[in-house]
Amino acid sequence: DVKVTQSSRYLVKRTGEKVFLECVQDMDHENMFWYRQDPGLGLRLIYFSYDVKMKEKGDIPEGYSVSREKKERFSLILESASTNQTSMYLCASSWGQRYNSPLHFGNGTRLTVT
């Protein structure tokens, strides 16, 4: 079974802090994604990566950056956390060239910025 692991289930940070959210997958997937989920807005794509050191902006990249130094790890960085970044963050992965492969999600990180 595919395992996508997010390092923290709950995180509380202060406004202005730099925040790192880590995600690791164990299936050698090329594609990795970061979403945020908010009530009434659904899941929105922040950033994704098709390969090591590659990254592409999703629909709401402002205020975020990402890092993919190793194939199995995809990090989401909040450069200066703000209260409107309080949300559930979900990492996902899938096979690369196979556009028809399913997406596998981690359990999410509930981030609160105070």
Partner 1 sequence: KQEVTQIPAALSVPEGENLVLNCSFTDSAIYNLQWFRQDPGKGLTSLLLIQSSQREQTSGRLNASLDKSSGRSTLYIAASQPGDSATYLCAVRGGATNKLIFGTGTLLAVQP
Which residues contact partner 1 by CB under 8 A?
Answer: 4, 6, 33, 40-43, 45, 58-59, 90, 92, 99-108, 110
Burial of 98: CB neighbours in 10 Å, binned 0-12, 13-18, 19+: exposed
* Shortest Cβ 80–partner 1 spacing (Å): 26
* Shortest Cβ 26–partner 1 spacing (Å): 15
Query: Which of residues 15 and 41 has its CB atom nearest to partner 1 in the complex?
Result: 41
Query: Which of residues 9 and 18 has its CB atom nearest to partner 1 in the complex?
Result: 9
Tell me what percent of the chain is helix, strand and coil, each rounded to the nearest 5. 5, 55, 45
* Shortest Cβ 99–partner 1 spacing (Å): 5
Query: Which of residues 16 and 54 has its CB atom nearest to partner 1 in the complex?
Result: 54
DSSP reduced 3-state for 85: helix
Rg of the chain (C-alpha set): 13
Cβ(31)–Cβ(50) below 8 Å: yes
